[in-house]
Structure 1
Amino acid sequence: MKDLPGQSITPKPVMADVARLAGVSHQTVSRVINGSPSIRPTTKARVEQAIAELGYRPNTAARALVTRRSGIIGIVGTNGALYGPSSIQRSVEEAARAAGYFTSMVPLAEVTREALRDALEHLARQSVEAIVMIAAQDDALAVARSAEAGMPMIVVEGDLSGSGLSVGVDQIAGARQATEHLIDLGHREIVHIAGPTTWTEAKGRRIGYEEAMRAAGLTPRVLAEGDWTPACGYQIGRELAREGGEGRKGCATAAFVANDQMAIGVLHALVEAGRSVPGDVSVVGFDDIPEAAYLNPALTTIRQDFKAVGQRAIELVIATLEGTPASVALLPPELIVRDSTRQREESA
C-alpha cells in the first residue's frame, strides 16, 4: 500500500531496533522483556531505557509462545446489573491490569451448568492462566465448586467461609454491625428486610442480624424477603409504614435493609406515608452505593471495600500461579453512620 500524498507512515519499532539502540543482542532484549534473572542490572537498565525512548511494545502473542504464559485472567461475571457484582467486576479488572495482566470477561445472563461450561470453554480457548468467578448465588457457587476448569479458579463473594480459593467481605459481621448500631441507639423492635435467600450474601446478612438480635435478648423478625430493587423496597416499606400507626407497642422503630437499593424504596415509602426517618423509624442499608450519602436523609449503611476485594482476588491468583501461600481471610466491612438513624426516644 502506497503512502498518501503529503503523508508518511512511521514504522513501529521492533525488537531489533531496541537491540541496536541499547547496543545488545536481540536475545538479550528478549530476556529482559521476559524477566530473566541472569541479566546484569546495568544491561537491563540500558534495554529498558531504549524501550522507553522508542516506545516499543512487545508482541504479547510472540511472548506467550516463548514463556508459555498468556498473561490473561478470565473473569466470569453474574448479575452484572447490580451494584455489588458490577463493582467487584470493575475492581478485579483494574487490579489485574495494575498487576500487568490482561482480562477476558464472560458475562452470564443466567447461571446454569451449561452456561458456565460454555464460559469456561471460551476462556480455555484463550489460554487464560486462571479464572475469577464472581458467584453471588448459591447455584453459581455450587457450579463453580463442581466445575472442572483445568486451571486455578478464584471464587469472589459467593463463599462466606473465607476458606480455599475464595475472596470476599464478611457479610455476617457487616449485618451484626448494622443491627448492633440500632440496638446501641436504644431500638428493641428491629425488623430485617432480607434479600433473596438463594443469594449467599443475603443469607449471611440475615444470619448476622439474627445473631445480633438474639445476643441482645431480642426477637428477630424478618418483615419480608425482597429482590434487591428499589421498587421491591418501596412495596415492603409501605407495609412497614402501615404497621406503625399511632405509636402502637410491638411495632418496628428500626429496620435493617439487606441492600441500599431496597433501602431507597423503604425511605420513599415511609416518608410518603408521613413517617419520619429517623424520627419514627431508623433505617440502615448495606453496600454504601455512591448515592447513599446524598439521599434525604443520608443513609446509614455498611460499606464494602470492593477495590480491596479486586486486589485480594488478583493477589490470590498470582500467589496460586506461583505456588506460594496466600491469606484468604474475609475482608472486614465498615459501618458508615449518617442521618437515617438516631437515638430511640421512649414514649411517655
Structure 2
Amino acid sequence: MCFAFAFGAIYVPVVAHFLSPLSRILFSWGNFHLRAWRLNMLLNSTPGFIAIILMWILPETAKFLLSVGKEDRAYETLNRLCLKNRGKDLQSLGITGVFQADLPESSAKKRNFFESLWYDTVPLFKPPYLRNFLICTVILSGYFFVGNGIALWFMKLRQIMSDSNMIACDMIKYTKTTHSSSMCSQKTSNFIDGIVLGCVFLACCILISLLLICVRNSYIQLLYAIVATICGFSLNFLKLQLPILIAMVLFSSLLASSIPLISSVLCAVVPTHLRGMAINMSYLFARLSVVIASAIIGSCMVPYCLVTFNIFVLFTLAVAIFTCFLPKI
C-alpha cells in the first residue's frame, strides 16, 4: 500500500518533465488561456480526488468501531462484508451481535468531544505507553526531518550544483556566487534527478517488503538508518556528480521509505482505541520537524553548507540510536 507514495514521487517529476517544453509553447501564445501549469495542477490533483472518494466509500474497521463503543455500526460493517463475500447476512448464520473480549471497560463509554479528546490523549503521556510513544515520535520526526526535508529541496540543490570536481558544498557556494539568477531553471536534468529520487524511493520500499519476510521491523529500520548516516557523512568528501547524486538520493530515500515501518510499530505498541490519536500526535510533531528542516536548508545551506548537512547527519545518527530501543516486533 505504501508503494503509492513512491509512485507519486515518480509521477510528479515525470509530468513536469513532459510539460516543461509544452509550457514554453503555451506561454508564447498570449491569447491561449489553457496554461501548462493549470494542466499540471489538474493532473496532480486527480489522485487526490480519487483518494477523497475512496475514503468516503470505505468503512471504518469493525475493531475500531468496537473500541470506541459503537457496537451497532461494527455489526453493520461486518454484516455488509458478509453479504458481499458469502451472499448471506450474519443473522442467517446465527450471529446477532459482536463484541471485543479484551476491550477496556472505560473505552466503551459514551463521551462528548472534549472528554474523548482528553481520554485519547492523556494515556499516551503516562506509563505504560509513554516510553514507546516518545521513542516512536522521535524516530518519526527524524525520518520526516531528514527524508522529507531534503526531498523538498532536492531539485533546488541539484539545480545549483555545478559540474565541477568539488564536494557538494563547494559546488553550491561556487554556483551561487558565480551564476546568481532569480530565474527558475528548466533543465531536463533537474527533472531526471527527481525521477531518480522517486525510483530509488520505490526500490527502498520494495526491499523493505522483501526483508519483512525474514527480518524484524526494527532491524530493517536500524539498517536503513546506519546506511543513510554513512551516505550523509560521505557528502563531506565526495567530489563527482554521480556519487554525490547517489549519496543524496539514498540519504533521503532510506529514511523516507522507513516512515510506514515506524508507523506500524506505533500502532502495535498502543491499544486500538488510542491508535488514531497516537498516529495524529506523532505526525503532528513530525510535520513540524519538516517545517524546521526546510527553514534550516533555505536559510543556512549556502552560508553554512557543511554545518547544515552535518546537522542532518547527526539527526540520522540519533534516529539509529533510538531505533535500538524499539520493541522487537
Q: How does the TM-score come out when normalised to structure 2?
A: 0.24
Higher relative contact order (CA 8 A, sep 6+): 2
Larger strand proportion of the pair: 1
Q: How does the TM-score come out when normalised to structure 1?
A: 0.23
Larger helix proportion of the pair: 2
Max radius of gyration: which structure? 1
